[in-house]
A and B are shown apart, each in its own frame.
Chain A
Amino acid sequence: MDKHVLLRDLDIPNIRELDVYQANDGYAAWRKALTAMKPDEVMGVVKDSGLRGRGGAGFPAGLKWSFLPKDMFPKYVVVNGDESEAGTFKDHQLIENNPHQVIEGVALCAYAVQAGAAYIYLRGEFYEPAGPLQKALDEAYAAGMLGQNILGTGYSLNIYIHLGAGAYICGEETALLESLEGKLGMPRLRPPFPAVQGLYAKPTVINNVETLANVPPIVLNGAQWYRQFGTEKSPGTKIFCVSGRVNKPGNFELPLGQYTIRQLIEMAGGVTDGRPVKGILPAGSSAPILPASALDTKLDYESVQAAGSILGSASFVILDDTVDIVWAARKMVRFFRHESCGKCTPCREGTFWALRLYDKIVAGHGASHDIDMLADVANGMANKCFCLLGEFATSPVLSTLKHFRPEYEQFVREHSDGKAGVYEDQLIRDHAISVNGVEPVGVAH
Chain B
Amino acid sequence: MADLINLTIDGIPVAVPRGTVIVDAAKKINNDIPVFCYHPKLKPVGMCRMCLVEVGTPQVDRATRQVVIGADGNAVIAWMPKLQTACTTPVSEGMAVRTNTKQVLEARDDVLEFLLTSHPLDCPICDKGGECPLQNLTLAHGPGVSRFDYEAKQHNAKHVPLGDLIFLDRERCIQCSRCVRFQDEVADDHVLQFHERGRHMEIITFSDPPFDSVFGGNTTDICPVGALTTADFRFKARPWELDSTPSVCTHCPVGCNLSLNTRLETRSGGHEIKRVMPRQNEQVNEIWICDKGRYVHHFTRAEDRITRPLVRDARGNLAESTWEAALQLVADRVRGRQVGGVIGDRIANEDAYLFARLFREVLKGGFTAMSPAFPTAYADIARTYGVGKDTDFKELGKGDVILLVNCDLEQSAPVWFLRLRQAVVDRGARLIIAHDRPTKMHRYAARIDQYELGKAAHWATEQAAALADELKSARNVLVVFGDEKLSAEGARSLARSLANVLIESGHTGKANSGLLPLYPHANTQGVFDALERGFTVPEQVGVAWLVGVGDGNAVPKAAFTVVQELFLTDLAKNADVVLPALSFAEREGTFTSGDRRVQRFYRALPPLGQARADWWIIQEVAKRLGAKWDYKDAGQIFGDLAGHNALYAGLTYASLGQVEAQWPPVGRADLYYGGAVYDNSGGIGARYAAGAERAGFMPAVEWVTAPDADIEALQRLPRMLYQDGELIGRSKVLAGHIQFNETEIARAAR
Evaluate contact between A345 and B200: CB separation under 8 angstroms. no
Q: Please indicate the chain A residues that have their CB under 8 angstroms from the CB of B45 in the complex.
A: 189
What separation, in Å, do the CA atoms of A344 and B174 have in the docked complex?
A: 10
B107 at the interface (CB under 8 A from A): yes
| A349-B194 CB under 8 A given contacts A189-B46, A344-B47 | no
Evaluate contact between A342 and B194: CB separation under 8 angstroms. yes
| A346-B148 CB under 8 A given contacts A341-B198, A384-B107 | no
Evaluate contact between B196 and A445: CB separation under 8 angstroms. yes
- Identity of the chain B residue whose Cβ is nearest the Cβ of A339 in the assembled complex: B198
Evaluate contact between B200 and A384: CB separation under 8 angstroms. no
Q: Please indicate the chain A residues that have their CB under 8 angstroms from the CB of B196 in the complex.
A: 342, 445
B147 at the interface (CB under 8 A from A): yes
What separation, in Å, do the CA atoms of A348 and B175 have in the docked complex?
A: 10
Extra inter-chain contacts (11) besides given A349-B115, A352-B199, A384-B107, CB under 8 Å: A167-B197, A169-B197, A189-B46, A340-B199, A342-B200, A345-B47, A345-B111, A349-B114, A352-B154, A380-B114, A383-B83
What separation, in Å, do the CA atoms of A308 and B319 have in the docked complex?
A: 92
What separation, in Å, do the CA atoms of A338 and B197 have in the docked complex?
A: 8
What separation, in Å, do the CA atoms of A383 and B103 have in the docked complex?
A: 11
Evaluate contact between A352 and B198: CB separation under 8 angstroms. yes
What separation, in Å, do the CA atoms of A175 and B43 have in the docked complex?
A: 18
Evaluate contact between B47 and A349: CB separation under 8 angstroms. no
What separation, in Å, do the CA atoms of A444 and B259 have in the docked complex?
A: 45
Type the 1/0 row for A364-386, where 1 means its CB is closer than 8 Å to any CB of B: 00000000010010011101111
Residue in contact with A384 in the complex, picked from B110, B148, B194, B198, CB distance below 8 Å:
B110
What separation, in Å, do the CA atoms of A341 and B45 have in the docked complex?
A: 15
Q: What is the distance, in angstroms, from B587's C-beta to the closest C-beta of chain A?
A: 47
| A337-B198 CB under 8 A given contacts A380-B110, A384-B83 | yes
Q: Please indicate the chain A residues that have their CB under 8 angstroms from the CB of B174 in the complex.
A: 345
What separation, in Å, do the CA atoms of A295 and B201 have in the docked complex?
A: 41
Number of interface residues of B (CB under 8 A): 34
Q: What is the distance, in angstroms, from B12's C-beta to the closest C-beta of chain A?
A: 25
B44 at the interface (CB under 8 A from A): yes
Q: What is the distance, in angstroms, from A277's C-beta to the closest C-beta of chain B?
A: 32
Q: Please indicate the chain B residues that have their CB under 8 angstroms from the CB of A145 in the complex.
A: none
Evaluate contact between B152 and A433: CB separation under 8 angstroms. yes
B88 at the interface (CB under 8 A from A): yes
Q: Please indicate the chain B residues that have their CB under 8 angstroms from the CB of A384 in the complex.
A: 49, 52, 83, 107, 110-111
Evaluate contact between A353 and B111: CB separation under 8 angstroms. no
Evaluate contact between B114 and A346: CB separation under 8 angstroms. yes
Among B49, B82, B154, the one with the most A-chain Cβ atoms within 10 Å of its Cβ is B49
Type the 1/0 row for A408-445, where 1 means its CB is closer than 8 Å to any CB of B: 00000000000000000000000001000000000101
Type the 1/0 row for A313-352, where 1 means its CB is closer than 8 Å to any CB of B: 0000000000000000000000001111111111011111
Evaluate contact between A189 and B44: CB separation under 8 angstroms. yes
Q: List 12 A-B contacts (CB under 8 A).
A: A167-B197, A186-B194, A337-B198, A339-B198, A340-B197, A342-B175, A344-B47, A346-B114, A384-B49, A384-B107, A386-B47, A445-B200
Q: Please indicate the chain A residues that have their CB under 8 angstroms from the CB of B199 in the complex.
A: 337, 340, 342, 348-349, 351-352
- Identity of the chain A residue whose Cβ is nearest the Cβ of B82 in the assembled complex: A383
Evaluate contact between A343 and B47: CB separation under 8 angstroms. yes
Q: Please indicate the chain A residues that have their CB under 8 angstroms from the CB of B50 in the complex.
A: 345
What separation, in Å, do the CA atoms of A137 and B635 have in the docked complex?
A: 80
Q: Please indicate the chain B residues that have their CB under 8 angstroms from the CB of A383 in the complex.
A: 82-83
- Identity of the chain A residue whose Cβ is nearest the Cβ of B118 in the assembled complex: A349
8 closest A-B pairs by beta carbon, nearest first, are A342-B201, A380-B110, A349-B114, A340-B198, A352-B199, A356-B152, A342-B198, A383-B82
- Identity of the chain B residue whose Cβ is nearest the Cβ of A433 in the assembled complex: B152
Q: What is the distance, in angstroms, from A437's C-beta to the closest C-beta of chain B?
A: 13
What separation, in Å, do the CA atoms of A373 and B154 have in the docked complex?
A: 19
- Identity of the chain B residue whose Cβ is nearest the Cβ of A347 in the assembled complex: B198
What separation, in Å, do the CA atoms of A184 and B45 have in the docked complex?
A: 15
A54 at the interface (CB under 8 A from B): no
Q: What is the distance, in angstroms, from B342's C-beta to the closest C-beta of chain A?
A: 56
Q: What is the distance, in angstroms, from B155's C-beta to the closest C-beta of chain A?
A: 10
Q: What is the distance, in angstroms, from B192's C-beta to the closest C-beta of chain A?
A: 12
A360 at the interface (CB under 8 A from B): yes
Residue in contact with A345 in the complex, picked from B44, B48, B83, B152, CB distance below 8 Å:
B48
Q: What is the distance, in angstroms, from B55's C-beta to the closest C-beta of chain A?
A: 13
Q: Please indicate the chain B residues that have their CB under 8 angstroms from the CB of A339 in the complex.
A: 197-198
B113 at the interface (CB under 8 A from A): yes
B652 at the interface (CB under 8 A from A): no
B705 at the interface (CB under 8 A from A): no
Type the 1/0 row for A157-170, where 1 means its CB is closer than 8 Å to any CB of B: 00000000001010
Evaluate contact between B175 and A189: CB separation under 8 angstroms. no
B135 at the interface (CB under 8 A from A): no
Q: Please indicate the chain B residues that have their CB under 8 angstroms from the CB of A346 in the complex.
A: 49, 110-111, 114
What separation, in Å, do the CA atoms of A445 and B198 have in the docked complex?
A: 9
Evaluate contact between B115 and A386: CB separation under 8 angstroms. no
Q: Please indicate the chain A residues that have their CB under 8 angstroms from the CB of B88 in the complex.
A: 189
Residue in contact with B149 in the complex, picked from A337, A343, A356, CB distance below 8 Å:
A356
B193 at the interface (CB under 8 A from A): yes
Identify which of residues 127-180 in chain B touch chain A, using a CB-to-CB cut-off of 8 Å: 147-149, 152, 154, 174-175
Q: Please indicate the chain A residues that have their CB under 8 angstroms from the CB of B48 in the complex.
A: 344-345
Q: Please indicate the chain B residues that have their CB under 8 angstroms from the CB of A348 in the complex.
A: 114, 175, 198-199, 201
Q: Please indicate the chain B residues that have their CB under 8 angstroms from the CB of A344 in the complex.
A: 46-49
What separation, in Å, do the CA atoms of A350 and B147 have in the docked complex?
A: 13
Identify which of residues 187-213 in chain B touch chain A, using a CB-to-CB cut-off of 8 Å: 193-194, 196-201
Q: Please indicate the chain A residues that have their CB under 8 angstroms from the CB of B118 in the complex.
A: 349, 352
Q: Please indicate the chain A residues that have their CB under 8 angstroms from the CB of B83 in the complex.
A: 383-384
What separation, in Å, do the CA atoms of A187 and B476 have in the docked complex?
A: 40
Residue in contact with A360 in the complex, picked from B107, B147, B149, B193, CB distance below 8 Å:
B149
B6 at the interface (CB under 8 A from A): no
B59 at the interface (CB under 8 A from A): no
| A351-B198 CB under 8 A given contacts A383-B83, A386-B49, A433-B152 | yes
Q: Please indicate the chain A residues that have their CB under 8 angstroms from the CB of B52 in the complex.
A: 384
What separation, in Å, do the CA atoms of A186 and B148 have in the docked complex?
A: 27
Evaluate contact between A349 and B44: CB separation under 8 angstroms. no
What separation, in Å, do the CA atoms of A167 and B194 have in the docked complex?
A: 15
What separation, in Å, do the CA atoms of A379 and B109 have in the docked complex?
A: 12
Q: What is the distance, in angstroms, from B88's C-beta to the closest C-beta of chain A?
A: 6
B117 at the interface (CB under 8 A from A): yes
Residue in contact with B114 in the complex, picked from A186, A343, A350, CB distance below 8 Å:
A350
Q: Please indicate the chain A residues that have their CB under 8 angstroms from the CB of B154 in the complex.
A: 352
What separation, in Å, do the CA atoms of A341 and B201 have in the docked complex?
A: 8
Q: What is the distance, in angstroms, from B264's C-beta to the closest C-beta of chain A?
A: 40
Identify which of residues 45-98 in chain B touch chain A, using a CB-to-CB cut-off of 8 Å: 45-50, 52, 82-83, 88
Among A339, A340, A356, A384, the one with the most B-chain Cβ atoms within 10 Å of its Cβ is A384
Q: What is the distance, in angstroms, from B122's C-beta to the closest C-beta of chain A?
A: 18
Residue in contact with A385 in the complex, picked from B44, B49, B201, CB distance below 8 Å:
B49
Q: What is the distance, in angstroms, from B383's C-beta to the closest C-beta of chain A?
A: 44
- Identity of the chain B residue whose Cβ is nearest the Cβ of A336 in the assembled complex: B198
What separation, in Å, do the CA atoms of A353 and B150 have in the docked complex?
A: 12
